[in-house]
Amino acid sequence: MLVLAVACQGENPAKPAKPVASSSASAAPAVASAGSRLSSPTAFELTAGARGAILLWAPVGANRPELLSLELDASGTRRGSASVLLDGNARGGEISDLSAAFVGEHLAVAWLERTAEKARVRATWAAPKARVFELGTAWRGPPTARGNVVVAARRGAALVFARGDEAGCIEPGKHACYAFLFHELSADRATRTGLPLSVPVPCTDNATSLVVLPERYHYGVCTDTGGDPVTTVFTITPEPAYARADPVLRGCEPSGTFTWKGSAWLVADCQGSRRAARVGGGDEDVEYLDMRSPRLECRSGVAAIRASGFDLVLDEPRAHLEALLPSAIAPRGSRAVWTGRALLVASSAGTALRLARYACEREAWQESNTDLD
């Protein structure tokens, strides 16, 4: 059984982030030949905004920029060349587990950076000459591990939830505990927030999850002590102050989150069958959803993702769709977004980065690949 140090806490409203420079790629130096070889298999991120999407990645090579970005419009077409988000002078190791989220028009980015001896959590805003924030030491797991750091927008700031380094266990008899910490990013500082967690034997992949809704937020940690993995989802409602913790999807490996019908859902692979769990506010029971045989449909120019008991029409830009799509379209570790007019899927084969575009034309999907070099 998972035991964590958690309590319902009063929250001070965050100060809105001061305006930062536009995340537009045109504001940063363009790269004539960006290169699509990655620093690690998880050194990329794809997220959607109001005007399209942004692909971020860390190229391999000591003389390469630390982070590159490529803007794509609402049709999924690239806008010019890739831009330097952070130059090589900022590099302190091998980047992995890249995560990002829009806060209004501004993009917050967080990642793990590894050297031979240690790893650390770092973050920045996608803007020229933006400051890099140091968020502490991290678990130095395999570079293929995904989902040990996550970013979400909350009240005009960016909330970063990340797995830290090994820490002391709270419950007697437990071992291999790791710290999980929150940081809030404003324009010029990173502030520790929330209560730290000590988690025994966290899962290798998707150990963290985070969904922020207008009235509450949910965060989860996955632990696997040698039996069945289980994700504990915490629900925090600031007004009126309320907190709950729900172990969900026991025996299932978490694969991502999404929002649907005003609620947060956690998706997991349950021995080859996909399921989802919804945790609401108050004292509502956890709701479970069978999501077997997901499929991507195109009918009369209308795109939708459907599964057993699930029907999501893609009528507005959306990020974090990878957990809902068939694995043939969005393989493990990929990132998928709907731009409003196209489905984009970023994935890696080893350290090779691929960006696929799917457009719903009448009754069929038209697939193409975007050249990143």
* pLDDT (0 to 100) of residue 23: 31
* pLDDT at position 117: 86
User: Lowest mean pLDDT: which of 27-41, 62-76, 240-254?
Assistant: 27-41
Sorted by sequence, the CB contacts under 8 Å of residue 78 that are 6+ apart come out as: 70, 71, 72, 370
How high does pLDDT run on average in the chain?
88
pLDDT, tens digit (0-9, with 9 covering 90-100), for 51-98: 899 999 999 987 788 999 999 999 999 999 999 999 888 888 999 999
Note whether 341 and 303 are within 8 A (CB): no
Spatial distance between the Cα atoms of 46 and 146, rounded to a whole number of angstroms: 14
Q: Which of 133, 17, 141 is nearest to 86 (CA)?
A: 133
Structure tokens that stand for 93 in this block: 């190791």
Cα–Cα distance, 251 to 297 (Å, whole number): 30
Kindly report, residue by residue over 262-291, the tens digit of the pLDDT.
899 999 999 889 999 999 888 889 999 999
Rg, C-alpha atoms of the chain: 20
Q: Map residue 357 onto helix, strand or coil.
A: strand
Say if residue 27's pLDDT is above 60.
no
**CA 191, CA 34: separation in Å to the nearest integer?**
33
Cα 70 to chain centroid, rounded: 18
List, in order, residues 6 or more apart from 138 with CB less than 8 Å away: 112, 119, 120, 121, 148, 149, 162, 163, 164, 165
Q: Which domains does the chain have, with CATH numbers?
A: 25-360 (2.130.10)
pLDDT per position as a tens digit, 104-143: 999 999 999 998 889 999 999 998 778 999 999 999 999 9
Indicate the DSSP class of residue 17.
P
Question: Which residues, other chains included, contact 197 with Cβ-Cβ below 8 Å and sequence gap of 6+?
Answer: 4, 5, 6, 179, 180, 181, 221
Could you tell me which residues come within 8 angstroms of residue 99 by beta carbon, excluding any fewer than 6 positions away?
45, 109, 110, 111, 149, 150, 151
Q: How confident is the model at residue 35 (pLDDT cuts 50, 70, 90)?
A: low
pLDDT in tens, 291-322: 989 999 999 999 999 998 899 999 999 999 99
Q: Which burial class, exposed, middle or buried, applies to 170 when counting CB atoms under 10 A from its CB (0-12, 13-18, 19+)?
A: middle
The answer to whether 230 touches 250, Cβ cutoff 8 Å, is yes
Does the pLDDT value for residue 32 go beyond 60? no
